[in-house]
Structure 1
Amino acid sequence: MTASLSPESLQQIQRLDLRARMVVRGFLQGLHHSPYHGFSVQFSEHRRYNRGDDPKLIDWLVYAKTDKYYTKRFEAETNLIGYLVIDLSSSMGFTESQSMTKFEYATCLAAALTYLMIMQQDPVGLITFDQSVHAALPARSRRGHVGDVLAKLTNLKPSGSTDLPASLTQVAAMLKQHSLVILFSDLWPSDDPEKTWQQQVDETISALARLRHAGHDVIVFHVLDAAEVEFPYDGPVQFTDAESGESVSVDATGFREDYLRTLAEFRNAYRDGCNQLQIDFVPLDTSMPFDAALTQYLLQRQSMF
């Protein structure tokens, strides 16, 4: 992992395009010194040789460099349409440290993925949502489209509440071609008093199932603040819900064990539901370097071919 992949190292850089370029550059350099050595070649134009493939298609120059067998992909095999689907709810603007907010972390990761997809001439589009889906950028693969996506990301601000199941159902209805849907969200349930968080998780998993049944591949990047994962509080603390504005006072010391147990159950419920649908579920927090998330994208892309 290089320093450029750390959120802290990017804090002083205000421009999203520079942040994203640093992340991508550091990540691609890191591939050459990792267990994924040679994977960047495969990601670009090749796939691993499988039993039954025509040996005549083996690229021997790549074999000489990587000591692994790869075959050249045909033009049609490499075409992948990707959609970045980003949660705009107020809770995504939360931070308890000097690091990035969840929203900043998600948009930086989304910007880096935009560069990677355009580098591979893969069309990429952008969809944002809170209680419903907002105007989307269509998927394009031209280099100038990077600027369109990054300009849109730069001007976005998290606000209001969200309805994740309804928004994902809208996304499923919008997409007509086989696509890779990349969701960025904290997945926090709404404050609906008539529904438990388990019920809301089930509704979201059902909405994700609609995407899968429509033939789309999905990655869920579950982005939380480091404080939401670690709960570094002691004594009396007043918490305010970012979406409803309601406040509650708790004894953080006595509450920590219950909170961490519930958080683990919450994440496991999503992980299990996604696993059943063959959806990649990637838990992240705002202190984590970006390489783990980018590697998951590359692995998912590989599995589609």
Structure 2
Amino acid sequence: MSSLLSPEALQSIKRLDLRARMVVRGFLQGLHSSPFHGFSVQFSEHRRYNRGDDPKLIDWLVYAKTDKYFVKRFESETNLVGYLVIDLSKSMGFTENQSMTKFEYVTCLAAALTYLMIMQQDPVGLITFDEKVHASLPARSRRGHMGDVIARLSNLKPAGATDVPASLTQVAAMLKQHSLVMLFSDLWPSDDGEKNWQEQIAEVVSALARLRHAGHDVIVFHVLDAAEVEFPYDGPVQFTDSESGQSVSVDATGFREDYLAALAEFRDAYRDGCNQLQIDYVPLDTSMPFDTALTEYLTQRQGRF
């Protein structure tokens, strides 16, 4: 199934709504033969039994199927309000020999999650940002709302610089209701001569902490191009920063080991910061099939339902 849901296979489908439907249907079909069999029941109607819950609430039919204890979720627990928060910076438009840019990959994944959540009758909203937050769509669960989200996603173009900490701080101030905030970004540090990348990551994590302290659940989808993850370059190469326009020439062969070590440190810093805040961190790259990406999401979320 993964080959049918790869970015290469889906690139031939131009309509984003059709891509999203194909991803979700293929993904749900795959659940029936995967370790997540039975998870769709849990996802829509049940949550794990927790110590302190009334044992009378245990659904024994689900236990018979899954050999795990679940209780019926109360109505107040079932209406999860989700917001897609998407980075519009120019670096998101980068790709190196992949069928989709980071931004195209993100919009397809975001559309699939919209479709999945609306199937569950969970309201979904959309917020975009670069150096500041732009116009957003409120969270709604009606079927027609998916068309509104898809239309907005289809018309977005990545351009300009970004300020993730300031934008997330603004998002935290905007959201008045307990929500699931799904952040999609490459999280590359800006070309700031006054702050190193460790300081910039600390600022992003601090902004994520504001969301958590406001009572929101957060998932960080850290999306990179496959070339940014693998660094498939040799010999002299000139790299140009897509946001600042600055260029640098390096011997890629000699630089690869240092680059990959720095990338691992970069991702680990975000992973550690998110873990401390009980934020789900999902590293992705643009070569990953979309059902794999959704499975990574469910792997992170499974223990929280």
Structure 2 length-normalised TM? 0.95
Of residues 58-67 and 213-222 in structure 1, the stretch that sits farther from structure 2 once superposed is 58-67
Question: Offset at 1:74?
Answer: 1.8
> Alpha-carbon deviation of 1:70?
2.8
Shifted more, 63-72 versus 91-100: the winner is: 63-72
- Using a 3 Å threshold, how does the CA distance of structure 1 residues 197 and 51 change in structure 2: closer, same or farther? closer
Which residue is 2:188 aligned to?
188
Alignment RMSD, CA only? 1.6
Give the conservation status (yes or no) of the 8 Å contact 2:186–2:222. yes
Please name the residue that 1:85 is paired with.
85
Task: Indicate the residue corresponding to 1:246 in structure 2.
Answer: 246
Q: How does 1:204-243 map to 2 (within 5 A)?
A: 204-243=204-243
**Aligned CA distance change for structure 1 residues 209 and 51 (closer, same or farther; 3 Å):** closer
Q: In structure 1, the residue corresponding to 2:139 is in which secondary structure?
A: strand
Mapping 1:198-209, distance limit 5 Å:
198-209=198-209
Equivalent pair of 1:86/1:129 in contact (CA under 8 Å)? yes
CA distance in 2, matches of 1:45, 1:147: 25
Residue aligning to 1:176 = 176
Matched-pair identity in %: 86
Q: Distance in 1 between matches of 2:24 and 2:78?
A: 20
**Equivalence for 1:2:** 2
Unpaired runs of 5+ residues, structure 2, are: none
Q: Which amino acid aligns with 1:96?
A: E
| Letter paired with 2:208 | L
Residues 177-222 of structure 1: per-residue CA shift (max 9 Å, x gap): 1111000000001111111111110111111111111111100000
Following TM superposition, by how much is the alpha carbon of 1:2 offset from its aligned partner in structure 2, in angstroms? 3.5
**8 Å Cα contact 1:118-1:143 kept in structure 2:** yes
Q: Any idea what SS the aligned residue of 2:220 has?
A: strand
Q: Partner of 2:128 in structure 1?
A: 128
Give the residue type in structure 1 aligned to 2:31: L
The answer to whether the 8 A contact 1:4-1:22 is kept is no
Go from structure 1 to structure 2 and tell me whether the alpha carbon gap of 1:199 and 1:51 turns closer, same or farther (over 3 Å shift): closer
Question: In 2, distance between residues paired with 1:240 and 1:164?
Answer: 21
Residue of structure 2 in register with 1:17 after alignment: 17
Q: Which residue of 2 aligns with 1:262?
A: 262
Aligned residue type for 1:114: T
Deviation for aligned residue 1:296: 4.3
Gaps of 5+ in 1: none
Shift of 1:245: 1.3
Please give the per-residue CA displacement for 1:57-113, whole angstroms capped at 9, x wherever unaligned. 333443444444432222111111100000000000000013210001111110000
* Structure 2 residue matching 1:80: 3-state secondary structure: coil
Shift of 1:303: 4.4
Measured after TM superposition, the shift of residue 258 of structure 1 is 1.2
Distance in 1, matches of 2:79 and 2:34, equals 26
TM-score normalized by structure 1? 0.95
- The alignment partner of 2:47 has SS state of strand
1:74 and 1:89, CA in 2 relative to 1: closer, same or farther beyond 3 A? same
Larger displacement relative to structure 2 (39-48 or 140-149): 39-48
1:286 corresponds to 2:286? yes
State the distance in 2 between where 1:209 and 1:66 align. 35
Distance in structure 2 (CA, Å) of the matches to 1:174 and 1:118: 22
1:220 counterpart letter in structure 2: V
Look up the SS of the partner of 1:242 in the other structure.
coil
Aligned residue for 2:96, secondary structure, equals: coil
Contact map agreement 2:130 2:162 (CA 8 A) in 1: yes
Read off the aligned partner of 1:245 and give its amino acid letter: G
Partner of 1:103: 103
Deviations 1:7-59 (A, max 9, x none): 12111111111111111011111111111111111101112334544444333
Letter aligned with residue 82 of structure 2 = G
Separation of aligned partners in 1, 2:98 and 2:295: 26
Say yes or no: does 1:43 pair with 2:43.
yes
Answer yes or no: is 1:27 the counterpart of 2:27: yes
In the alignment, the residues of structure 2 paired with residue 92 and residue 53 of structure 1 have an alpha-carbon distance, to the nearest angstrom, of: 44
Deviations 1:106-163 (A, max 9, x none): 1111000001110111111000000000001000011110000000000000000001
> What is the deviation of 1:304?
4.5
**May I ask how many residue pairs the two structures share in their alignment?**
305
Residue of structure 2 equivalent to 1:138: 138
**1:166 corresponding residue in structure 2:** 166
Tell me how far apart the structure 2 counterparts of residues 175 and 16 of structure 1 sit (CA, whole Å): 27
Give the Cα–Cα distance (whole angstroms) in 1 for the partners of residues 201 and 234 of structure 2.
Answer: 29
User: Quick check: 1:239–1:248 contact (8 Å CA) kept in 2?
Assistant: yes
1:24 counterpart letter in structure 2: V
Q: Contact 1:43 / 1:298 at 8 angstroms: preserved in 2? A: no
